[in-house]
Chains A and B, each alone.
Chain A
Amino acid sequence: MQLSEHRYNTVSSIAGPLLFVQGVMQARIGEVVRIQSPEGKVLDGEVLEINGDTVMLEVYGITQGLDIKGTSVVFTDSVKRAPLSRDMIGRVFNGAFKPIDGLPPLFPETWAPVTGYPINPSARARPVEFIETGVSVIDGLNTLVKGQKLPVFSCSGLPSKEVVAAILRNARIMGREASSQERDRIRQAGDFVVVFAALGLTFYEYAFYETVLREMRSGFVAFVNMADEPVMERLLTPRFALTAAEYLAFERGMDVLVIITDMTNYCDALREVSTAREELPGRRGYPGYMYSDLASLYERAGRIRQQKGSVTMLPVVTMPEDDITHPIPDLTGYITEGQIVLSRSLHQKGIFPPVDVLPSLSRLMQRGIGKGHTREDHRAVSNLLYKYYAKGRDLRRLEAIVGRDGMTDKDKQMLDFADSFEGEFVHQGGARRSVFETLDIGLDILKRFKLEE
């Protein structure tokens, strides 16, 4: 809806990604603007703040080459919207929702504002349906359910993309008591779709993901903002991706898995804009509103009562300095329903996926496992594995002090259990395991060490 467009040549200052325009009448917060550089280059932007007739704009794109005299700004009188259609599936877009796969542009069936609307809490359905990721340590001990947001906390140098790839290749939605035939039918019907948002990825990383996406049997939509592409677009990319995901889920009834990688790049972009706006910095320079901003993304996961479709989210967060108390993983953990934490020491032992079970958690697991969801003994097996592994890990510290010879037989057994747990249960290489196989492996280890109660 473009009621009226106004063009202004009254740019008063430019600071990094921000542009100030004077004498503007009736600007709106969030209004889309088009900025034309002296050379005729056109950039998109958005109104961030209005003070009288002075308007602060955020420019999506590179502001190099803009000046005060020759730059003009067009106010479009509409807020940022995303063009949506089922034909998005199978397509690759850039961070500004322009196709980059060489295929023709998309014909939208509808448009929706990119910031989305909050789901009315009383309209949410509680997430209970099990998603089989094929990864033992997730399915067995940190179960993912439809509508959940479960981030992967990684450290630089750890194979987070391989972990995500394993999930992408193997994830299956298992309805209540769904037989394997039924499950295949669900998949073939194309009701399961992956929305992939790449934020600040290097070409090397992206090429890896692209191969994985193309090999998948289910459909995907990709939104790609590369490491050398405009930082400001990084704030928009996940919003486009989530708007697309919500459309496919709640208008088209699909089960959507949203992968966003890497949220750390997103938060750094947020900090960049915040400092350019000369806002008071919070912890580590990140803005004080980062919690609310992250929540406006993560909280878009969910299910709706009496409606088909779901948005499940798997964001990847690389913890700066391997520090889980850093504001990015910290605030993420406060919003998401658990976390899958990768560990450097497991990775060094050659264990894949190198998931550290102790700090990992799935808050929604309890409702999605057991009879009618997975298997009756799931809860018991998972609790025992966790308990003994935690004990074994504790004992490793003792072993480092007194040496193995100084320990009781029971303690030695517990140490061996921890090794077997890591080597057989956590480690699975590239293989896919059904949840039943996962539970059987767990039971087998428990029985071997005669630890089961």
Chain B
Amino acid sequence: MTGRITGISGPTVSADAAGLKLYERVFVGHAMLTGEVVRIEKNRSVIQVYENTRGLAVSEPVEGTGTPLTVRLGPGILSGIFDGLQRPLQTLRDESGPFIKTAKALNPLDFSRQWAFHRLIKEGDTLHPGDIIGYVREGPFQHTILCPPHVQGKLSWVADKDIRLDSPVGALEDGTEIPGYHDWPVRVRRPFRKKRSPSERLVTGQRVIDFLFPIARGGTAIMPGGFGTGKTILDQSIAKFADVDIVVYVGCGERGNEIAELIEEFELLKDPWTNRTLMERTILCVNTSNMPVAAREASIYTAVSMAEYYRDMGLHVLMLADSISRWAEALREISSSLEELPGEEGYPTYLASRLSGFLERAGVVESGGGKAGSLSMILSVSPPGGDFTEPVTQSCLRTSGAFLMLDTALAHRRHFPAINWFQSFSLYGSELLEQEREMVPLEWEEARSRCKDILQKEEGLREVAEIVGVEGLQDPDRLLMHVAETIRLRFLSQNAYTEDAFSAPERTLSIIRGILDFYDEASKRLKEGIPLEELLTGKGLRGEGIER
């Protein structure tokens, strides 16, 4: 289907092409810019263009492709750095220099690379979409090659050693060739056999999260915070240390220098769980704030499709997006150029439904191949003016399982991660830290509520202390203030630039246990008449150095 451009406004182009399908991918102009059909009127199609439209002229051609916007899924995605449309940025850099000047489509997968292929089926077997044909080794993982969607029939031959993606891995009796990769429409969630409720813990290595507000594998968390509250550092720390197989990191409308930092670091740093470089388990999907806005909107879908693909191999995948607010703003920009009626703060009224549709792509699932994998999501939110009543935070709140609120006041006190312990919450259950029970005997639920209680009481006492001074407080209260301070400084805060950046679960539990034991012991001694000063210096205690 071809037509011509009749109007251009920002990233939105209208064309006189009839017969295009909604959400069909189109090429716009002589420069072949990628776009998607977002509205169809009688003789007019409205197209959202994913590239900079500068220089585009009316009457240039518009050409439909007949397929929706897709990602290419196959071996070789891992360790890749892609833009929001899955263009491989390193290849682009090698081909056309440090600046992104072209809208050229590039193959995201390296078709010339050899992969050692192990087949798991043989000639004569009947193949259904999603069936496992075999696997290749991609880094530390068995990358299963699945039967692409819409391919079904009896197998006439299948490769049994090295494969390259530019030739098929097998063929059906009717002659249909089966490629080693397939293209998947980004806006459609990948199918699975069954969804399970998230019940396994996801260790982030951040004590405040793992202990107070745990996240489950297959769960979702949102992390809102004003600027300077350490969202990105926290995101990157989690990307480094989380105990998952694969991390998909989406730099959605954020800073280029941060991505440069992340790439350089991930190439050097080791995954604490497997001791391989972090880049070997990471996929980056990057659309910095100065890259085209509409592609930013697509980037989270591109990324989540890649994440689902690896989840289908039975792997644990974590998707981090920094920040979902920039995605929402892109949505707003597109919506306003379509002249849609705005909802709250100019965001389209479908913001909430789009967001929840996206968040629901997380979960623990049994894939068609029968393997159980998980896709967890942690999304950071950048509320304007640090005001959490704004629509993006509020829409996320309704569907996410954990809410990690980053607090400007804590950040100013250089308390990082600046997660506010009064207003954050997690819906995931206590069984998450059970595994360490044998190593560190501690009732997690009880310890957690005691910890929260101490912090709550400190808040009240602090107001009193502001007026009467700390010396004016009763001894038990002063002890509590001391314990609360220890919890804040030694337990809840972690410096991302030291060894303490990652805290294994047993370490997390033993620190808090040490602090609570000290509190119990000191309270008892206090009642026995031992002066507070001696207790605070550790002299008046019997057991040796409970506190670290």
A and B associate: yes
Q: How large is the interface on A (under 10, 10 to 19, 20 to 34, 35 or more residues)?
A: 35 or more
Residues of B within 8 A of A331 (CB): 384
Task: Kindly state whether residue B414 has any CB partner on chain A within 8 Å.
Answer: yes
When the two chains form their complex, are residues A121 and B253 in contact, meaning their CB atoms are under 8 A apart? no
Does B123 reach chain A (CB closer than 8 Å)? no
Tell me, in angstroms, the Cα distance from A116 to B257 when the chains sit together.
17
B90 at the interface (CB under 8 A from A): yes
Q: Check A305/B6 contact, CB under 8 A, given A29-B54, A122-B90, A148-B257.
A: no
Q: Nearest A residue to B260 by beta-carbon distance?
A: A124
Q: Does A322 interact with chain B (Cβ within 8 Å)?
A: no
Question: Could you mark each residue 45-70 of chain A with 1 if its beta carbon is under 8 Å from any beta carbon of chain B, else 0?
Answer: 00001111100000000000000000
B7, A126: Cβ atoms under 8 Å? no
Q: Which residues of B contact A123 (CB under 8 A)?
A: 89, 93, 97-99
Query: A401 vs B469: C-alpha distance in the bound complex, in angstroms?
Result: 10
Query: Which of chain A's residues has its CB closest to B265's CB?
Result: A126
**Chain B 325-339 interface mask (CB, 8 Å, partner A; 1/0):** 010011011001000
Instruction: Give chain A residues whose Cβ lies under 8 Å from the Cβ of B58.
Output: 25-27, 50, 52-53
A105, CB-defined interface residue at 8 Å: no
Q: In B279-299, which residues have CB < 8 Å from any A CB?
A: 286, 288-291, 293
In the complex the two chains form, is A325's CB within 8 Å of B385's CB? yes
Are A119 and B256 closer than 8 Å at their CB atoms? yes
Q: A124-B257, A280-B342, A299-B256 are in contact. Are A30 and B333 (CB under 8 A)?
A: no
Contact among B286, B332, B382 with A121 in the assembled complex (CB-CB below 8 Å): B286
Q: Which of A389-414 contact B (CB under 8 A)?
A: 390, 397-398, 401-402, 406-408
**Across the interface, which residues of A come within 8 angstroms of B326, CB to CB?**
291
Residues of A within 8 A of B100 (CB): 117-120
**Residues of B close to A52: CB separation below 8 A:** 6-7, 58
Known: A29-B8, A120-B99. A335 touches B289 (CB 8 A): yes
Contact of B7 among A50, A288, A406 (CB under 8 A): A50
Q: Point out the residue from A325, A364, A407 that lies within 8 Å of B257, measured CB to CB.
A: A364
Q: Which of A113, A283, A386: most chain B CB closer than 10 A?
A: A283
Q: Does B81 contact A (CB under 8 A)?
A: yes
Evaluate contact between B260 and A125: CB separation under 8 angstroms: yes
Contact A120 B89 (CB under 8 A): yes
Chain B residues whose C-beta falls within 8 Å of the C-beta of A407 in the assembled complex: 469
The answer to the question of A169 belonging to the interface, with a C-beta cut-off of 8 Å to chain B, is no
B93 touches A122 (CB 8 A): yes
Among B179-230, those with CB < 8 Å from A are 227-228
**Contacting residues, chain B, for A10 (C-beta < 8 A):** none
Listed residue (A283, A291, A325, A408) with the most chain B CB atoms within 10 angstroms of its CB = A291
Q: Would A307 and B290 be within 8 Å (CB), given that A288-B346, A390-B412 are in contact?
A: no
> Which residue on chain B has the smallest CB distance to residue A48?
B9
Residue B466 lies at the interface, judged by CB distance under 8 Å to chain A: yes
Q: Is A436 interfacial (CB 8 A cutoff)?
A: no
> Which partner residue on chain B sits nearest A53 by CB separation?
B58
* CB contact between B98 and one of A51, A305, A330, A397 (< 8 Å): that residue: A305
Q: How far is the CA of A77 from the CA of B195 in the complex (A)?
A: 56
- Once the chains bind, are B336 and A280 in contact (CB under 8 Å)? yes
Closest residue on chain A to residue B57 by CB atoms: A28
Does B56 have its Cβ within 8 Å of any Cβ on chain A?
yes
Closest B residue to A379 using CB positions:
B497
Query: Is residue A361 within 8 Å, beta carbon to beta carbon, of the partner chain?
Result: yes
Top 5 closest A-B pairs, CB basis?
A295-B289, A325-B385, A299-B290, A124-B260, A123-B98
Known: A118-B288, A302-B260, A326-B385. 7 other contacts (CB 8 A): A29-B8, A123-B98, A124-B259, A250-B98, A301-B257, A304-B98, A335-B289
* Chain B residues packing against A (C-beta within 8 Å): 6-10, 52-59, 81, 89-90, 92-93, 97-101, 227-228, 251, 253, 255-261, 263-264, 286, 288-291, 293, 326, 329-330, 332-333, 336, 342, 345-346, 382, 384-387, 412-414, 466-467, 469-471, 497
Q: What are 17 contact pairs spanning A and B, CB under 8 A?
A: A29-B55, A50-B9, A113-B54, A122-B89, A250-B98, A280-B342, A283-B384, A291-B289, A291-B326, A292-B330, A299-B289, A325-B384, A335-B255, A339-B228, A383-B414, A386-B414, A397-B466
